[in-house]
């Protein structure tokens, strides 16, 4: 039944696309013909302003020295940005918070048996790379929020260290109890690796960068090419952010001077075992000293040796101790007050702190944000008057735990829940295709923006380039057909990994995350080599995609800030929810089929007959077949949302006939305040099971994937973790949120219908 509904919405969207203004440009959604033309004029002026030279100059300044949380240059950068914003005539200030940020006091990794080797845990300076020698200011290589510990134990190789890998180890009779695991980076957010290792009884965790994942297999290593050299190490946080991000001591509230703080010993988001990241130069002697079964195919990296699972005989001494200090954060906040609707806020952010010099992560995005602000300042002087309030934020402390954005938004939670229209995020930027992620209520909106941005190399709209790539990448005829015919390109749901998390996941503010990439590549992520030299040789060296990102994000901000009617759109959301629902049903069916088949094979003796008698092999246990679940509440709710979304589109179409937006100022105001609630309706104050900070019932980072998104997470994770009763309860909760959303959309439709 919803297939027909989708067809209808497709027809309607095509119709809307044809409704153009006299000068042949499509009328912007939420605008009258006249205001749309006026907006387009301002946007064209805006897009001419950002310059690659400015981006390059800001980057050279911001990445000149290491600038992690608590470092002198972190504060210096914040003050420099503040001065710049003020110099341009903008109203800016710095908001500070005090957060727990551990830095290393003692780090040891040494092989003690059967031979001796001490890891150097140090990235060497390179003569050709002028900032790589700033060793006194560089944070040592470590994983922030690792537990303190001093352990000596045999080594076990666990591949990427995700739950599936441990299942496979069990089948091969390998236990990590009492062992130190060595996992390779990749395939999950890094914090998942020590978490799962600890849950399986390991006492320590090493994470290394295998050349298969970001090293010489892909291309020449730095400084000849852009890929990770043998001594390159990926720093990074291992805090259990899928429980809650932000300052571990102040969950749910801003880390102000007088905030109530937890005791360190009561914090649940610090790892339970010590963990350190190492280069492959440091990992290779450890891996070479291991014996035991040969690692299965797919587990083997690109080092010139055989990969063994252990345990042992390699025995490792791992020591990690931190200074558990409170450090200040400096969030730089710029406010452009709205001329007509000052109580509706469009928020735009990118972080400014880095692990070391961070030219790519985050400065390539920070400079883009600065250049947008400078261009807006110029437009304001020319007479541009944004209707809504625009807030630009350069966050501190993103790298350790999304600290700056989370503490700021928790501190302003009440206002944000009432006033925030949207949050637009960026982070590291590269070169290539536009990547669009975010709330599906903004899917059509951001597709519209992407149609108006020119790709700097191909000179076609970045939207067109994305579409043609979607056709090239399609795996099935259906996907190809959709890429050709669906009016909007699908945007990705957001998990975690950057500063949108508190806005989307905690507060229910519709969010977008934008970047260019796919044609840059490289392996200097979170190392001392992520610097100006690397960026200007191996990434967006001429800053043309930096300029494109300024144009993209800035246009999105303007278009949201100036619209008469907020341009959220719900048919795309409803269509996406139907897809998620199909996925959930398939997930359950697949689990049922797999258990049935495996049980049958156990009974037939398949596993015992095919196991090599010279190797350890444990047949899988006979499992209970997953029960059928009642998806009806979700099906009914998503059908209701589909209908409501269509009725709203119909009513909107009627009211905007002839290019007029025939709404009285009062109705517009009341409609906008209703629409402002639309993302909030998808949240619940009780949050997700076991992690109440995460309140969005449609999007969340996975408990066992970290960055990776789980959609309709309450239901999906309950099915994955075989919690059947919880799955049924979560179906009802998610359905309730979708019904509330449908009701809100209906009441907006009634408001529109009153007017004709």
Q: CA Rg, the chain, in Å? A: 26
The footprint of Zn ion on residues 126-155 (CB under 5 A) is: none
Beta carbons within 8 Å of 252's beta carbon, 6+ residues apart:
244, 410, 693
* Of 365 and 456, CB closest to Zn ion: 365
- The minimum distance between CB 495 and Zn ion, in angstroms, equals 15
Smallest gap from residue 623 Cβ to Zn ion (A):
41
Within 425-454, which residues bind Zn ion (CB under 5 A)? 427
Helix (H) / strand (E) containing 96: strand 91-113
Residue with tokens 């130190």: 180
Q: CB of residue 185 vs Zn ion: minimum separation in angstroms? A: 16
Contact at 8 Å (CB) between 239 and 144? yes
- The CB-of-117 to Zn ion minimum distance in angstroms stands at 33
Smallest gap from Cβ 244 to Zn ion, in A, equals 19
Q: How many C-beta atoms surround the C-beta of residue 103 within 10 A?
A: 18
Give the range of 159-167, 246-254, 356-364, 379-387 binding Zn ion by CB under 5 A: 356-364
Taking the least distance from each CB to Zn ion, the nearer of 366 and 389 is: 366
CA distance 388 to 467: 32
Residue 539 or 642 with smaller CB distance to Zn ion:
539
* CB of residue 320 to Zn ion, shortest distance in Å: 24
Q: Which residues of 36-50 are buried (b: 16+ CB within 10 A; e: fewer)?
A: bbebbebbeebbebb
Binders in 410-429 for Zn ion, by CB under 5 A: 427
Residue 147 near residue 272 (C-beta atoms within 8 A): yes
Segment lying near Zn ion (by CB under 5 A), choices 185-193, 291-299, 333-341, 359-367: 359-367
The correct pick among 154, 186, 362, 456 for binding Zn ion (CB under 5 A) is: 362
Is residue 397 within 8 A of residue 69, CB to CB? The reply is: yes
Among 282, 360, 361, 371, which residue interacts with Zn ion (rule: CB under 5 A)? Answer: 361
Q: Which is nearer to Zn ion, 210 or 396 (CB)?
A: 396
Taking the complex as a whole, how short is the minimal distance between the CB of residue 398 and Zn ion, in angstroms?
5
Nearest CB to Zn ion, comparing residues 310 and 362 = 362
Residue 205 backbone dihedrals phi, psi, to 5 degrees: -145, 130
Q: Across-strand partners of 596?
A: none
How near is the Cβ of 350 to Zn ion at its closest, in Å? 8
Question: Can you tell me the distance from the alpha carbon of 279 to that of 74, in angstroms, rounded to the nearest whole number?
Answer: 26
Count the neighbouring beta carbons within 10 Å of the beta carbon of residue 577.
27
Give the shortest CB-209-to-Zn ion separation in angstroms.
18
Q: Return all residues near 291 (Cβ < 8 A) that are at least 6 apart.
A: 308, 310, 312, 313, 314
- Minimum separation from the CB atom of position 661 to Zn ion (A): 39
Cβ at position 288, least distance to Zn ion in Å: 34
Contact region with Zn ion (CB under 5 A), list: 91-99, 213-221, 360-368, 526-534: 360-368
Candidates 147-155, 361-369, 461-469, 673-681 — which segment interacts with Zn ion by CB under 5 A? 361-369
Q: Of 643, 506, 459, 534, give the one whose Cα is nearest residue 63.
A: 534
* Separation of alpha carbons 394 and 291, rounded Å: 49
Q: How far is the CB of 216 from Zn ion (least distance, A)?
A: 25
Distance, CA of 494 to CA of 501 (rounded, Å): 8
Token digits of residue 337? 């007050």
Task: List the structure tokens of 508.
Answer: 């229910």
Instruction: Say whether residue 372 binds Zn ion (CB under 5 A).
Output: no
Q: Show the DSSP H helices in 659-723 as ranges.
A: 665-675, 713-720
Asked whether the beta carbons of 17 and 32 are under 8 A apart, the reply is no
Cα–Cα distance for residue pair 10/738, rounded to 1 Å: 21
Hey, which residues does 96 pair with through a beta bridge?
330
Based on CB atoms, which residue is closest to Zn ion, 312 or 701? 701
Nearer to Zn ion, 239 or 283 (CB): 239
Closer Cβ to Zn ion, 42 or 534, answer by number: 534
* Closer residue to Zn ion, CB minimum distance, 247 or 398: 398
Nearest residue (CB) to Zn ion, 361 versus 575: 361
CB atoms within 10 A of CB 409: 27
CB 109 within 8 A of CB 277: no
- Written as one string, the DSSP assignment of 714-725 is HHHHHHHTT-HH
Q: Which is nearer to Zn ion, 301 or 358 (CB)?
A: 358
Site size toward Zn ion (CB under 5 A) is 3
- Name the token pair of 560: 């949201």
Separation between Cα atoms, residue 393 and residue 168, nearest integer Å: 45
540 versus 679: smaller Cβ distance to Zn ion: 540
* Cα 80-249-424 angle, rounded to 5 deg: 50
Q: Which CB sits closer to Zn ion, 407 or 443?
A: 407
Q: How far is the CB of 111 from Zn ion (least distance, A)?
A: 33
Residues 585-604, interacting with Zn ion (CB under 5 A): none
| Cβ closest to Zn ion, residue 242 vs residue 362 | 362
Q: Give min distance, CB of 355 to Zn ion, in A.
A: 9
Q: Are strands 117-118 and 91-113 parallel, antiparallel or unpaired?
A: antiparallel
Are the C-beta atoms of residues 138 and 161 closer than 8 Å to each other? Answer: no
Residues near Zn ion (CB under 5 A) are: 361-362, 427
């Amino acid at each position: 039944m919803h297939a027909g509904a989708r067809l209808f919405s497709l027809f309607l969207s095509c119709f809307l696309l044809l409704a153009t203004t006299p000068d042949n440009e499509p009328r912007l959604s939420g605008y009258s013909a006249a205001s749309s033309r006026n907006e387009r004029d301002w946007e064209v002026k805006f897009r001419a302003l950002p310059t690659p030279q400015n981006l390059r100059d800001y980057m050279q300044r911001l990445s000149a020295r290491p600038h992690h949380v608590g470092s002198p240059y972190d504060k210096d950068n914040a003050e420099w940005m503040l001065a710049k914003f003020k110099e341009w005539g903008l109203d800016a200030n710095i908001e500070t918070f005090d957060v727990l940020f551990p830095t290393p006091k003692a780090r040891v990794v040494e092989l003690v048996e059967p031979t001796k080797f001490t890891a150097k845990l140090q990235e060497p300076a390179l003569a050709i790379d002028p900032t790589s020698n700033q060793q006194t200011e560089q944070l040592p290589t470590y994983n922030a929020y690792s537990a303190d510990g001093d352990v000596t134990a045999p080594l076990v190789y666990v591949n990427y260290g995700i739950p599936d890998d441990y299942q496979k180890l069990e089948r091969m009779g390998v236990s990590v109890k009492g062992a130190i695991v060595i996992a390779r980076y990749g395939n999950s957010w890094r914090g998942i690796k020590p978490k799962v290792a600890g849950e399986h009884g390991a006492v320590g965790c090493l994470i290394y960068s295998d050349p298969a994942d970001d090293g010489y297999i892909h291309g020449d290593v730095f400084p000849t090419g852009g890929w990770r050299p043998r001594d390159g190490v990926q720093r990074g946080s291992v805090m259990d952010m899928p429980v809650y991000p932000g300052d571990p001591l102040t969950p749910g509230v801003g880390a102000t001077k007088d905030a109530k703080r937890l005791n360190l010993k009561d914090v649940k988001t610090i790892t339970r075992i010590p963990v350190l990241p190492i280069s492959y130069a440091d990992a290779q002697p450890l891996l070479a000293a291991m014996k035991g079964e040969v690692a299965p195919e797919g587990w083997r990296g690109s080092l010139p040796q055989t990969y063994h699972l252990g345990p042992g005989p390699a025995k490792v001494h791992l020591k990690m101790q931190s200074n558990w200090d409170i450090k200040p954060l400096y969030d730089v906040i710029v406010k452009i007050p709205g001329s007509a609707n000052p109580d509706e806020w469009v928020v735009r952010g990118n972080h400014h702190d880095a692990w070391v010099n961070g030219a790519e992560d985050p400065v390539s995005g920070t400079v883009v944000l600065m250049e947008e602000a400078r261009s807006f300042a110029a437009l304001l002087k020319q007479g541009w008057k944004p209707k809504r309030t625009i807030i630009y934020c350069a966050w501190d402390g993103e790298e350790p735990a999304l600290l700056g954005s989370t503490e700021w938004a928790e501190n302003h939670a009440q206002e944000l829940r009432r006033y925030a229209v949207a949050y637009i995020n960026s982070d590291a930027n590269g070169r290539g295709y536009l990547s669009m992620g975010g709330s599906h209520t903004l899917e059509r909106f951001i597709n519209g923006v992407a149609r108006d941005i020119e790709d700097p190399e191909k000179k076609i709209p970045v939207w067109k380039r994305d579409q043609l790539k979607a056709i090239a990448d399609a795996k099935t005829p259906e996907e190809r057909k959709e890429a050709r015919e669906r009016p909007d390109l699908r945007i990705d749901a957001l998990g975690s990994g950057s500063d949108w998390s508190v806005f989307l996941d905690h507060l229910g503010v519709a969010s977008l995350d934008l970047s260019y990439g796919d044609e840059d590549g490289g392996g200097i992520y979170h190392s001392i080599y992520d610097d100006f030299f690397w960026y200007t040789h191996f990434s967006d060296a001429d800053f043309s995609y930096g300029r494109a990102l300024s144009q993209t994000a800035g246009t999105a901000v303007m278009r949201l800030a100036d619209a008469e009617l907020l341009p959220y759109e719900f048919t795309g959301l409803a269509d996406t929810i139907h897809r998620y629902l199909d996925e959930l049903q398939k997930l359950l069916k697949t689990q049922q089929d797999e258990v049935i088949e495996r049980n049958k094979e156990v009974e037939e003796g398949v596993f015992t007959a095919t196991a090599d008698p010279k190797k350890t092999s444990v047949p899988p246990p006979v499992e209970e077949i997953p029960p059928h679940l009642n998806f009806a509440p979700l099906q009914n709710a998503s059908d209701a949302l589909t209908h409501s979304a269509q009725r709203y589109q119909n009513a909107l179409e009627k009211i905007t006939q002839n290019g007029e937006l025939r709404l009285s100022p009062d109705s517009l105001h009341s409609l906008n305040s209703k629409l402002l609630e639309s993302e909030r309706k998808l949240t619940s104050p009780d949050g997700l099971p076991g992690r109440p900070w995460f309140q969005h019932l449609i999007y969340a980072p996975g408990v066992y994937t970290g960055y990776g998104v789980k959609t309709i997470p309450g239901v999906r994770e309950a099915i994955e973790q075989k919690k059947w009763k919880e799955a049924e309860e979560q179906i009802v909760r998610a359905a309730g949120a979708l019904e509330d959303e449908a009701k809100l959309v209906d009441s907006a439709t009634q408001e529109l219908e009153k007017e004709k």
